[in-house]
Structure formats: structure tokens, C-alpha cells
A and B are shown apart, each in its own frame.
Chain A
Amino acid sequence: AQSVTQLGSHVSVSEGALVLLRCNYSSSVPPYLFWYVQYPNQGLQLLLKYTSAATLVKGINGFEAEFKKSETSFHLTKPSAHMSDAAEYFCAVTAMNTGFQKLVFGTGTRLLVSP
């Protein structure tokens, strides 16, 4: 079975600062990893995904994530935070041994951006 752990339920940054949201995964087979964002009172939106191609994945809104097998990590970064980045971010995993049928989500990290 797969699982993801998101370190830090809340992360606070200043506008213009680096954003780093941490995600570690557990999977007995090669995983496919995703980052989704949830803005207040909205559904989730895909930011980016890793599907065993390039280990550095670029997504929307200037976000990127790097798959590191040795560290079982898939941390999300953005060089410069904007106020509009304030939202909740979810890391998720799926894998071939479940037929890629279901996504397992982490508990989420709320990003707070201050002026």
C-alpha cells in the first residue's frame, strides 16, 4: 500500500520568499506522485505530477517539485511566494500495484503568505 506524509500542517512565508512544502512517500513499487492545491471553498486543482519521466517536474503558477528516490521525497517549491498562493496543498500517490485506481492523499499543508 502507498502512503504520503506531509510535514507541517501549516507553513508561513512572507511574500517574495521561497516556498517549500514537504512530502515523503512510502511505496513498495515505483510511485506516481501528485501535488494538488485547494483554494478556499473550492475543489482541488492539479499543480503537477511525476510519472517516472523527468525527476524535476514543473507545474502551473511557478511551482515545481523534485522526485528523490533515495530520500523518498517529492517536495514542492516556488522561488517567490505571492499572496495568491495562500491555499491548502495536498500531496498524493498512486502506483501500478493498485492498477493506478486510487489516489492516496496526505493530510495537507496550509500555506499562509504575509505581506
Chain B
Amino acid sequence: DSGVTQTPKHLITATGQRVTLRCSPRSGDLSVYWYQQSLDQGLQFLIQYYNGEERAKGNILERFSAQQFPDLHSELNLSSLELGDSALYFCASSVHRRGLYEQFFGPGTRLTVL
């Protein structure tokens, strides 16, 4: 158990819908990272927040957005969902803002878009 929690574990929805994925980092960790893992794209970095502020952006679509709240939990919002958004979404946390420090991964949320 990494100490990072993600809810829900599974999510099934339809195209065009909007969903919110939630992540609670390890106690004391200020950085939260979001990743998407799919069969065709592999594991891709989406976005990082550090202590409430966006720090880095990766291959995140404009239909996707994220935020980190004062209690440090984070939410990833996916809208206008398409079939290709079906993937495993991971959240990771780290004590530091720099990616060279160990990131602790949550168990992931499996999103299925029908």
C-alpha cells in the first residue's frame, strides 16, 4: 500500500459525458501527478500540481482539467468523453516538487467509455 488513494476504482460511462477522478496523496506529500495508461499510448504524464499550483503539463487534452485543493487532494476532470479516453488513470504523489524524487503511485481508476 503506497498511501495514495484513488476513487473510484472503476468508472463506466458514455461518450460525451463528464467524470471526476479523485486522488488523496500520502500524508505530507505536496506534489500530485496524474498519468494516463492506455494500450496504444502507454504511460503518459498528464499534469503535476505542487501545493495547490500547477507545476508542469504533459500530454493533457484541453477537455481534461485538474486542480489541487487546500487539503492537497486532487481531482482530474474529463469532459466530452470519447471512446479513446478509456484508460487507467494513475495519481502519484511526492514530497517534493521535482520529478526526480520518488513518486508513490495510487492503484488507479479504470475508466471505460462506451
B18 located at the interface, meaning its Cβ lies under 8 Å from any Cβ of chain A in the complex: no
On chain B, the residues within 8 Å of A94 by CB distance are: 99-100
How many residue pairs at the A-B interface have CB separations less than 8 Å?
59
B48 located at the interface, meaning its Cβ lies under 8 Å from any Cβ of chain A in the complex: yes
Given A43-B90, A43-B105, also A105-B99 (CB < 8 A): no
Q: Mask for A89-108, Cβ within 8 A of B = 1, else 0?
A: 01000100011111111111
A45 located at the interface, meaning its Cβ lies under 8 Å from any Cβ of chain B in the complex: yes
B79 located at the interface, meaning its Cβ lies under 8 Å from any Cβ of chain A in the complex: no
Contact call A103/B99, Cβ cutoff below 8 A:
yes
Which A residues are within 8 Å of any B CB, using their own CB? 32, 36, 41-46, 49, 51, 90, 94, 98-108
| Shortest beta-carbon contacts, A-B, top 9 | A43-B105, A101-B56, A100-B98, A105-B43, A100-B100, A44-B105, A102-B45, A94-B99, A100-B99
Given A32-B100, A101-B56, A103-B103, 19 other A-B contacts at CB below 8 A?
Answer: A43-B90, A43-B92, A43-B107, A44-B90, A44-B92, A44-B105, A46-B102, A46-B103, A49-B100, A90-B43, A94-B99, A99-B56, A100-B100, A102-B33, A104-B45, A105-B42, A105-B44, A105-B45, A108-B43
